[in-house]
Chain A
C-alpha cells in the first residue's frame, strides 16, 4: 500500500529528527510535557499509538456512540485529560487552533499536515470548573429533598400524582 509506506516514511523521518535533537532539523517535537508529568507510558506502546491512534479512536467512537461502551482506555476525553494542560504558565487557555501550536495534537498534526475536525465538537482541553451541584439551583419555593442522591423516598411518590394544582404555587 503506497499510502501506508508514505506515512511510515513520514513518521520515520519525524522520529529520526526527534532522535537528533539539537541538530536543528526544523522538525518540531510533539509537546509531551503535560503527559510526561502525569504518566511514564501511553495507553498503548509508544510506537504503536504513534502509528495507530486514529484507528483506536475511530473504533472507540462508534463503540461509545452506538453501543454505549464507556471504557476509558481509547477515549478521546482521556487522551486530552492526560496530554493537554488546560492553561499555560501565564494562565492563557491552550487550544488546538492556537498559533503557538503547543497543543499536543496540534504540535504534530500541523507539521504532518493532517487536518483534524474533532475539536470542532470535542473539548480540546480538560475542563477547569467542576460540575456544579444542580440541587442548589432549586428555588426556595420548590420542594427540596433531603437526600443528596436525589432519589425520591416513599412520601414523594405518595405526593406524586396527588393532583396539587400547579398554578397555585407558581
Chain B
C-alpha cells in the first residue's frame, strides 16, 4: 500500500467517523428490539434471506484480537492438540501483524475464515464437504470430509487447518477429529440458537455481528456509514468478514 493511499484511507476513515455520530443512536434504537442474532426456532431450517457477517474495527481492538483468539480456542477446543508440533496446531483464528515499510506504522488484526460469497474452498472440494450454508456461513461438513486438504491450498486467507492425531474430550458443541479439515464456522451452534459467535462476544467494543441482508441491522447500518474493507478485495470473493481501520 503506497503512502498516499494509506493517508487517504486514514483521512476518509476520520471523515466517516464524524458522519457516524449523527446516525448511530437511531441504529442502536432499532436493534435493541430486534437483536443482532434473532433466535430461530430449533426445528426451522436456515434460510438464504439471511447473510451473516462480521465487522471488526481494528482501531478499537486494543489487544490486536488476542482475546478473540482465546475465546475461539475455548469455545472450540483447538490449539492444544497434545502430539502436534507448534506449526501443526490447528488455527481457526490468528492475529496477523502488518507493518508499513515506509512509515513503520504497524497494526495487528485477527484473521479467520472470511466467509466468502464465492468461496474457493467450496469450488475445489471433491466430495462437497466444504460447503456454504444458505445463510452464508462457510464450513466443513466433516461427515463427508476425506481429508484431502485441497481446500486448505485454495483458501487465500490460510484459514483452514488439518487434524493430524486422535483427540479425546472435544467440546460437545464442536466435534473435531483426526483426518478432517476444520476452520471458523462463525460458531454455527451458537448463531443457530440466537447467540453471538464467541469471538464477537469477547470483543464487544470492536466487533459487530449480524445480518448483512437486513438493511436495518446494526451491521448493515455500520457498513453503510463507515464502509468496511475486505482483505484481498481484488479477488472479488465478497467476504462476510469486513474490517475498519485497515
Which of A126, A145, A170 counts the most chain B CB atoms within 10 A? A170
Which of A62, A143, A154, A167 is within 8 Å of B60, CB to CB? A143
Scan residues 137-162 of chain A and give those whose CB is less than 8 A from a CB of chain B.
Answer: 137-139, 141-143, 145, 150-154, 156-162
Q: For the complex, would chain A's binding face be called helix, strand, loop or mixed by DSSP majority?
A: loop
Which of B32, B43, B168 counts the most chain A CB atoms within 10 A? B168
| Contact yes or no, B13 A121, CB < 8 A | no
| Contact yes or no, A166 B17, CB < 8 A | no
Residue A123, interface by CB 8 Å: yes
Which of A138, A142, A160 is within 8 Å of B222, CB to CB? A160
| Contact yes or no, B61 A69, CB < 8 A | no
| Contact yes or no, A67 B67, CB < 8 A | no
Chain A window 110-139, contacts with chain B (Cβ cutoff 8 Å), 1 for yes, 0 for no: 000000000011111111000010110111
Beyond A69-B45, A158-B20, A160-B222, whether A127 also contacts B172 by CB under 8 A is yes
Which residues of A are found within 8 Å of B202, using beta-carbon distances? 134-135, 137-138
Chain A window 78-99, contacts with chain B (Cβ cutoff 8 Å), 1 for yes, 0 for no: 0010000000000001010000
| Contact yes or no, B178 A120, CB < 8 A | yes
Chain B residue with minimal CB distance to A93?
B169
Which residues of A are found within 8 Å of B42, using beta-carbon distances? 69-72
A69→B188 CA distance, assembly (Å): 11
Minimum CB–CB distance from B21 to chain A (whole Å) comes to 6
Which residues of A are found within 8 Å of B168, using beta-carbon distances? 95, 124
Minimum CB–CB distance from B181 to chain A (whole Å) comes to 12
A169→B64 CA distance, assembly (Å): 10
Which of B46, B58, B143 is within 8 Å of A68, CB to CB? B46
Which of A93, A139, A163 counts the most chain B CB atoms within 10 A? A163
Number of interface residues of A (CB under 8 A): 52
Beyond A120-B177, A137-B202, A141-B62, whether A70 also contacts B192 by CB under 8 A is yes
Which of A122, A137, A160, A167 is within 8 Å of B57, CB to CB? A160
Residue B153, interface by CB 8 Å: no
Residue B79, interface by CB 8 Å: no
Minimum CB–CB distance from B196 to chain A (whole Å) comes to 7
Which of A65, A126, A127 counts the most chain B CB atoms within 10 A? A65
Contact-residue size bin, chain B (C-beta under 8 Å from the other chain): 35 or more
Residue A77, interface by CB 8 Å: yes
Residue A109, interface by CB 8 Å: no
Number of A-B contacts (CB under 8 A): 168
Residue B40, interface by CB 8 Å: yes
Residue A165, interface by CB 8 Å: yes
| Contact yes or no, B175 A138, CB < 8 A | no
Chain B residue with minimal CB distance to A123?
B172
Which of B31, B40, B135, B177 is within 8 Å of A121, CB to CB? B177
| Contact yes or no, B58 A158, CB < 8 A | no
| Contact yes or no, B28 A157, CB < 8 A | yes
| Contact yes or no, B176 A121, CB < 8 A | yes
A150→B206 CA distance, assembly (Å): 11
A67→B137 CA distance, assembly (Å): 11
Chain A residue with minimal CB distance to B29?
A154
Beyond A127-B172, A156-B205, whether A143 also contacts B57 by CB under 8 A is no
Which residues of B are found within 8 Å of A145, using beta-carbon distances? 204-205
A157→B17 CA distance, assembly (Å): 10
Minimum CB–CB distance from A111 to chain B (whole Å) comes to 23
